[in-house]
Amino acid sequence: MDLGTMDSILVVDAKLTTDTASHVVKLNRSCDYYDPEVDKTTISGALVYVQREDGSRIDYVEDDTMPGWYRTAPDVYGKIGENYRLHIEVDANGDGQTELYEAESRMPDIPPIDSVSPLYGMGLPPFYSANPSRLGWNIRIYAQDPPTKENYGFSFALNGRMYFDTITDIFCFPDIFTSGLYMQGLTIYFFADEPSDSTRVPALKEGDSVTMILYSFTDAYNQYISDVNEAVSTEFPVYSAAPSNVRGNISNGAFGCFAVYSISRGSCIIPAKPDSGGAIFSGTDAG
């Protein structure tokens, strides 16, 4: 099929969070489907920085070993409530002229996780159906949801290893049912004793450490995640909408998103399973 050609467009993957870390901006260019150099789309030589509200800036320096990856110093972190503006100067389309690309976002609020608690038994609503033949560990969260509208996402780490932290795996949770309320032992993840192959997660055992990671996303990034999931999911032609580009927040026609989000964490240790004579639900409680 003759798919034609198009000009190269800048593709941005940029993140700034409340974690103290070396944050990364990745720059690539779009290319034709039959481009013989489809694996060489990284863009080097760009000027990349983020400007704070007070006028100071966070500089991103290109990694010597990873072209197209621009990193901050390792002690950089974002502050809740502050506004950040991404600034990129680069010749993305190769016409010899430098273009300016920008995006702006405010760091959203996030509730601190008071505690995380394991509870053994059936999967608990609203996200899991109670099934007496399917037992395992409910991982529950205790936290005060602020009255403002927030967009939450969850992932977790098991014994220090991250799971489900890619954009298509993050469990997104709108706070329309919990806004202003205390999340009193809300089950976020259920780990069955006999997990299916599709979960990619082993069954939990006594002594395992489970860390819950809570994200608070801006409206723009929450919409971006939704669009990405829709774009990569299986579609049914009769019922699906016409395909379209994923909506981002980068100016000047670029693809991608400047994701500014806050992070909160809480951990628990898995205890021994209750004996067969005990209650169907058992575990360390908190709240």
User: For residue 286, what pLDDT is reported?
Assistant: 40
In order of 48, 164, 256, 276, the CA distances from 89 in angstroms are: 7, 33, 16, 64
**Weakest-pLDDT range from 80-89, 197-206, 225-234:** 197-206
User: For residue 1, what pLDDT is reported?
Assistant: 81
> Which residue is listed with tokens 């795996």?
169
Tell me the two tokens of residue 271.
């205890």
Inter-residue contact 78 to 16 (CB < 8 Å): yes
Average pLDDT of span 260-270:
97
Q: In sequence order, which residues have a C-beta less than 8 Å from that of residue 181 and are 6 or more positions away?
A: 145
Domains in the chain (CATH in brackets) are 10-107 (2.60.40.10), 113-218+264-269 (2.60.40)
Asked whether residue 79 carries a pLDDT value surpassing 90, the answer given is yes
- Report the alpha-carbon distance of residue 129 to residue 135 in Å, rounded: 11
Looking at every residue in the chain, the average pLDDT score rounds to: 89
Average pLDDT of span 163-178:
85
User: For residue 64, what pLDDT is reported?
Assistant: 94
Average pLDDT of span 31-36:
82
Mind listing the pLDDT tens digit for each residue in 138-153?
A: 999 999 998 888 899 9
User: For residue 195, what pLDDT is reported?
Assistant: 79
Mind listing the pLDDT tens digit for each residue in 81-102?
A: 999 999 999 999 888 899 999 9
> 25: buried, middle or exposed (CB in 10 Å: 19+, 13-18, 0-12)?
buried
Average pLDDT of span 117-123:
94
User: Between these two residues, 209 and 1, which has the higher pLDDT value?
Assistant: 209
User: For residue 86, what pLDDT is reported?
Assistant: 98
Residue of 63, 21, 65 whose CA lies nearest to 46 = 63
Burial 171-190 (b: 16+ CB within 10 A, else e): eebebeebeeeebebbbbbb
Average pLDDT of span 35-40:
77
Q: How far is CA 195 from the centre of its chain?
A: 23
Inter-residue contact 87 to 50 (CB < 8 Å): yes
